Amino acid sequence: MSVITLNEFIIERQSDFPYAKGELTRLLSHISIAAKIVNREVNKAGLVDILGESGVSNIQGEVQKKLDVYANDQFLMALKSSAECCGVASEENEDIVAFEGEIARNGKYVVAMDPLDGSSNIDTNVSIGTIFAIYRRISPVGHLATRADFLQEGAKQVAAGYIIYGSSTMMVYTTGRGVNGFTLDPSIGEFCLSHKNIESPTSGTIYSINEGNYIKFPTGVKNYLKYCQEKDEPTNRPYTSRYIGSLVADFHRNLLKGGIFIYPITEQNPTGKLRLLYECNPMAFIIEQAGGKASDGYETRILDIHPDSLHQRVPLFIGSWNMVENAERFVAENGNT
């Protein structure tokens, strides 16, 4: 079987991208280069002094792991050198990073990203990931990127994707024409097409939620969990509970096998934990392109939410269409109580 590399695929599919040819190619190929560099460090993280904490905290007040600072630097450098990106909003940076220099100022795209999501799992060898969302800038070309460039609804994304650093390293992305997955072949250093036109099962039997927060879940979420756990053979219940605690890993499994991931409001996170710009929106774009659904649980489509701030958090119900719709019904029956 002939191997199709990521770059070959992007070039073949350039016509899918409604803007000038080559722009997306350069953006995605620079992202993939940074992903290979980060992958190399993730894979040997236990061997070099890159584990552990950097001693610095990020905007979220979360202690930054050395590897996520390293990953952030790699993706920022790659995006700036792409000459297509004029700025980045990152989980690791409090404000946007507007690239200086004439070439970067002429970039037509901005990228919101979580350079290394799930980084609390780094030291225990659990799969982690990079998540990115690409928008056309709305500020004038030739000037510095502005915050408004990033506070666009998720429906305005022109591309979104993630890299999962797991038993293998994969890059999964969409430009609005379906979802495709590429597995890194270390022997040739290329991402190769391995999951063409991913379609997520409309129903599934896996639910993914941190049940440690159960006591504080809204009643509707508690009732939905009881529904998942009841025995009912015709609907293949009880479902299976799977929770890795790394969004990219939990999402990727559900994308391929079917399932629902829920991070609802909790006492500790009264507006949800996951960030709209660089976690929920890109995953929502991908799941919708694969035939699934993503809402805040209260029937608000994630991609329709207008962001108010860079690190805004929202509740997330995402996965197989029928499962998300069903969970929304349980929540609707009980309002926000």
Q: Which is nearer to ligand P6P, 238 or 245 (CB)?
A: 245
Out of 87, 107, 115, 118, name the contact with ligand P6P by CB under 6 A: 118
**Order of strands across the sheet that contains 190-195:** 97-98, 85-90, 109-117, 128-136, 159-165, 169-174, 179-185, 190-195
The yes or no reply on residue 29 touching ligand P6P (CB under 6 A) is no
Taking the alpha carbons at both ends of the chain, their separation in whole angstroms is 55
Q: What is the DSSP letter of 189?
A: T
Instruction: Output the smallest distance, CB 29 to ligand P6P, in A.
Output: 26
Q: Shortest Cβ distance from residue 134 to ligand P6P (Å)? A: 20
Task: Supply the minimum distance, in Å, between the C-beta of residue 247 and ligand P6P.
Answer: 3
Least spacing, CB of residue 118 vs ligand P6P, in Å = 4
Residues 155-194, one symbol each (x = binds ligand P6P by CB under 6 A, - = not), give ----------------------------------------
| Phi-psi sector, 31: left (phi>0), alpha (psi -120 to 50), beta | alpha
Q: Which C-beta is closer to ligand P6P: that of 130 or that of 152?
A: 130
CB of 252 to ligand P6P, least distance (A): 12
Give kind and range of the element (H or E) at residue 319. Answer: strand 316-319
* Two structure tokens written together for 69: 């600072």
**Contact residue for ligand P6P among 139, 183, 202, 210 (CB under 6 A):** 210
Residue for token digits 């905290």?
A: 57
CA atoms of 93 and 315, how far apart (whole Å): 22
Min separation Cβ 68 and ligand P6P, Å: 10
3-state secondary structure of 179: strand
Number of residues in contact with ligand P6P under rule CB under 6 A: 9
Identify which of residues 118 and 282 has a Cβ nearer to ligand P6P in the complex: 118
Q: How far apart are CA 99 and CA 184, in angstroms?
A: 29
| DSSP state letters, 227-294 | HHHS-BGGGTBS-EE---S-HHHHHHHHHHH--EEEE---SS-BTBSSBIIIIIHHHHHHHHHTT-EE
In the complex, least distance from residue 10 CB atom to ligand P6P, rounded to whole angstroms: 27
Decide: is 72 part of the binding site for ligand P6P (CB under 6 A): no
Using rule CB under 6 A, residue 60 touches ligand P6P:
no
Token pair 């004038």 is found at: 140
Is 223 a residue that touches ligand P6P (CB under 6 A)?
no
Q: Which stretch binds ligand P6P (CB under 6 A): 17-25, 96-104, 116-124, 178-186?
A: 116-124
Candidate list 30, 105, 273, 293; residue touching ligand P6P; CB under 6 A: 273
- Cβ pair 258, 292 in contact under 8 A: no
Min dist. Cβ of residue 244 to ligand P6P (A)? 8
The verdict on 322 binding ligand P6P (CB under 6 A) reads no
Helix segments in 132-183, DSSP class H: none
Rounded to the nearest whole angstrom, what is the least distance from the CB of residue 275 to ligand P6P in the complex?
8
CA distance 213 to 217: 7
Nearer to ligand P6P (CB atom), residue 19 or residue 214: 214
Closer residue to ligand P6P (CB): 107 or 292: 292
**Interacting residues with ligand P6P between 232 and 271 (CB under 6 A):** 245-247, 250
In this structure, the strands spanning 206-208 and 53-57 are unpaired
How is residue 148 annotated by DSSP? G
Measuring CA to CA, which residue among 204, 276, 193 is closest to residue 242? 204
Binding site for ligand P6P (CB under 6 A): 117-118, 120, 210, 245-247, 250, 273
